Structure 1
Amino acid sequence: MTYSGEVRPGGEPAVRELDRLTISKLSVGPMDNNAYLLTCRATGEQVLIDAANEAPRLLELIGDRDLAAVVTTHQHMDHWVALEEVVAKTGARALVHADDAAGLPIEAETLTEGDTVRVGDCALEVIHLRGHTPGSVALLYRDPAGVPHLFTGDSLFPGGVGNTDKDPERFAALIDDVEHKLFDRLPDETWFYPGHGKDSTLGAERPALPQWRARGW
């Protein structure tokens, strides 16, 4: 089945098979958060992006393969409700950017710009995006056999950047980071996976960047 990126709370995961990595996208309630399980096809090692909620469903998705780490994209509660239970039951490392570490319910190892998170033989680059929260991150997988894949948390969605509570300084920081660290560096075919809702590509969103900046949100 062709991957569409469309999921719904309580529904089945959407699964995308890349050459070296499998991406499983699951929607959990009550806020329709996306959780992403990445599995190295060579080693079976896994990393979960955002243990948002519904720990039993996440644990069922993880199954009996090793979960190396849970990366929390930012400190907002709807992205870590299941974190403590998932870590306790799998022994996975908890990872978060240093600037958001104090907002998590458990101690976590800290990340910074340019760090690498390993998923077996695959690597994710940590990209720090200020504004939605101080320590929000995106995770970039450069597929050697295809297009880049980018997990953006709540910093970038189809149609705009994440919420900055109408704070002009926070918005300026976020739109600058998104434009310069993502759109200026990565090609149009880059597929991105947000913290809620549908996926998109950078190419589909790029023409609207001036409009986003002008409207201020």
Structure 2
Amino acid sequence: MQNITLQDQTYEKLREMIIKTDLYPGQKISESKLMELLGVGRTPIRESLKQLKKQGLVYTFPQSGTYVSKIDMSQAVHSRFVRECVEKEVMVELSANMDKKAEQRLQVILDDQKVEFEKGNISSYHDLDNEFHRACYDIVGKGQIWNWIKEFSVHLDRFRWLHLKNITFDYNPILEEHKELLRAIKSKKTEEVKDLIVSHIHFMVRSQSNIIEKYPEFFLEETVQDLNEAHYDIL
């Protein structure tokens, strides 16, 4: 059980490092450096890399090595669509079932997010963004659905991190949108709840081109071309 737990921890840490570009798109991976950095043996590193390969986050080039995959914008588009469709219904259900305990749970997350913003801790601020949404799913008994979404939304999450880091952290829109969403949920204004969650999930669309132009080497070129040709708004 201890080895399994260690492997799970190693996998989650490597996954987070890829999302937050500590391991950046296109970077060659050194197993020995990861072992030293994470303080684990070769087995959990290799097993974690196998899991990440199945998710399309790393790939092996014969006689060259293992590399971090580039961001797949097609996957990001599909993930955004699924999350938007599901989350509207989750938030409406939450509005119908909100009680004082649930309200307090969500308010604590928002209070913590405010603290992390004031401290300039972008990583914890990002994690609390996810925690707010995860808690909403969990409150209405749909935590497993959040876990499913998390697994296939990793390319969307990678883009969201770049957007937060480069565009929105300084003026803090995520926390303000969370506050507005919680207010509408408490007031049971279901149409406003739907509108707010759609706006929240799409809030990065204005910077889509800017992010891709700033980090062209981070993205799969063919998926960016497909995005431009289809005129998709990814978020």
TM-score by length of 1: 0.27
Q: Which one has the bigger strand percentage?
A: 1
Q: Which one has the bigger helix percentage?
A: 2
Q: Looking at CA atoms only, which structure, 1 or 2, has the larger radius of gyration?
A: 2
